[in-house]
A and B are shown apart, each in its own frame.
Chain A
Amino acid sequence: MPSPGLPASVNGLIAELKKLPGVGEKTATRYVLHLLGRGRDAADALGGALSAVSTKVRPCPRCHFLADGDLCELCRDPGRDISVVCVVEGAPDLLAIEKMGEYRGSYHVLGGAISAIRGVTPDRLRIRELVARVDAGGVAEVIVATGADAEGETTALYVRKALEGRPVRVTRPATGIPMGSSIEFLDSVTLLRAIRGRKEL
């Protein structure tokens, strides 16, 4: 509920912040009052940063991770092995794998996981784009690192089927991933073990 006495514009910003994960009414109000207390420059800087993100950031045309211009930072890095593609549900999963610091291949961000319950059909994910990437050549292995929960398993099996008959190895991180877990929340050691021990899907 909007705080009585605050201007509508301030309540509007509070309402937007509350949509963020882990931010409730109290925290959102605290952020906004703090920002206003620091004066106009602080608010403008945040506004500028936000609008830069919304105008500049596009999905990377190759891997669909966040990119500022054309290709994302990872795809532009010549040190990365583009013959290996790790398929993840979302950007947080990619960041978790990057944090481990071991993986030197490239990625493909699907943008979710298949779920009939939530109305996420396969055509709403970037599976077709993955197949096109493989068909374009140069990909030797696809590691399907979707979650070990119902949606992640279904998505992994769907991806395997979509790549069937193509000259590419399709693997899945080892079952060391605790069942039902999302990649995002795994510790680096578990993740490392799972990716090193990946098996043919």
Chain B
Amino acid sequence: MRILSIEISAFRNIARQVVEPGPGLNVVLGSNGQGKTNLVEAIAFASWLRSFRTSRTSDLVASGGEAAHLALAVESGGARRHLEVSIAAGVRRASLDGSPVRSARDALSALVVACLSPDDPAVLEGGPDGRRALLDRFAVLLDPPRTALLSRHSRLLRERNALLRSGPEAWDEAQMDATEEALAAAGAELLAVRRAALAEVVARLPAILAPLAGGPMPVSIRYASRWAPREGTAAPAGTAAQLRAAMREVRVRDSALGYTSRGAHADDVEFELLGLAAKGHASRGQRKLVMLAWKAAEAAALAETRGEAPVLVLDDALADLDADRQEAVVAFLHAHEGQSFVTGAIVPGQAIVGATVFRASAGAFERV
């Protein structure tokens, strides 16, 4: 899978540009504020129909403009696909080969982007929500129709919370039962999906991380759940029954809290580095390397399950790394099968050799 060309209009600081990336490594150079991240954000948006930086579509439209447009020619599954996206305040519309795209799952059928954004390494330091989102996004890339499961689960959670807030005297007991049963079924399904997705990453990450880190870097990543049965000990139906019982038990307490305290929405992905919790112990550089390896593991897993390497986007990947680690990342990118993008203010000389290089300046990308 690769992007043959991308035409960008009125997107952030990009007035109108046509970029024709190379088939392998693409390096986008430029100082801050010139539009490097805007270019990779546009690429990721075309796949996800969502930005990794903002949830407000109006942020994406160039100031003074009404709508931003993206038009991509993509080679995917041996065919040439044409993906178009228009973005305005509160609106995003997309079409694939001229037919309207209703959800991201359709766009993902033509273009899959595994993307490291500058904010990603911080998820190792932040709360569990960021790590769950990281895993959920990957689970959707593996199998796009899973977006429906995610939205059903979060809707059911809000349904239960709404009932909880009405108070034990007000809620219809049978409605609460039905809501919990549906929520537990969705939660059990989500647990299985997340564990399977995490296993795909965990199976590949250490082998990718070692050369990047310049030697073995013991890392352990574990799906942490306070309610779920141990992995492999219960069928989904059993897991659902267990979650249902767990929620039922704390109904009144949850009602006082005003939210659902147990379930898949409160789970975490725990990272341990060299035997210590990554949170609070890993350095900036280590966090960066682990997340780089995570995204590369995603790309490798996607290549295998979907039969085609995704486009790998690493925004500002080399910052926070010392010269040796930068070289190792560059060597990894050169060896990467499939199309990739890396951005940076300065990159080591080896990055440029054999790569397609663009220089970003005031929203324009000049091939050098």
Contacts and interface: CB of A to CB of B under 8 A. Distances in A.
Contacts of B185: 153
Nearest to B158: A117
Contacts of A151: 155, 159
A116 B163 contact: yes
Interface stretch (A8-16, A68-76, A156-164): A156-164
Given A179-B149, A180-B151, A161 B177 contact: yes
B181 interface: yes
B158 A153 contact: no
Contacts of A123: 172
B179 interface: yes
A161 B175 CA distance: 10
B141 to A, nearest CB: 17
Contacts of A116: 159-160, 162-163, 166, 171, 175, 179
B178 A180 contact: no
B166 A178 contact: no
A117 B151 CA distance: 15
Nearest to B174: A161
Nearest to A121: B172
B156 interface: yes
Contacts of A114: 175, 178-179
Nearest to A115: B159
Given A150-B152, A179-B149, A161 B178 contact: yes
Given A117-B158, A154-B159, A180 B152 contact: yes
A115 B158 CA distance: 10
Given A116-B163, A117-B158, A178-B145, A154 B152 contact: no
Contact of A150 (B159, B163, B172, B174): B159
B155 A158 contact: no
Given A122-B174, A179-B152, A180-B152, A153 B145 contact: no
Contact of B159 (A117, A122, A148, A181): A117
A149 interface: yes
A157 B163 contact: no
A157 B181 contact: yes
Contact of A154 (B149, B166, B179): B179
Contacts of B174: 122, 158, 161-162
A179 B148 contact: yes
B154 to A, nearest CB: 9
A179 B158 CA distance: 18
B96 interface: no
Nearest to A159: B178
Interface string A105-121: 00000000011110001
A153 B152 contact: yes
A150 B145 contact: no
A161 B156 CA distance: 18
Interface of B: 145, 148-149, 151-152, 155-156, 158-160, 162-163, 166, 171-172, 174-175, 177-179, 181-182, 185-186
Give me the 7 closest cross-chain CB pairs, A-B, nearest first. A180-B148, A150-B155, A116-B162, A179-B148, A157-B178, A158-B178, A153-B182
22 contacts: A114-B178, A114-B179, A115-B159, A117-B155, A117-B158, A117-B162, A121-B172, A121-B175, A150-B152, A150-B186, A154-B175, A154-B179, A155-B178, A158-B174, A161-B174, A161-B178, A162-B174, A178-B148, A179-B149, A180-B149, A180-B151, A180-B152
Interface of A: 114-117, 121-123, 148-151, 153-155, 157-158, 161-162, 178-181
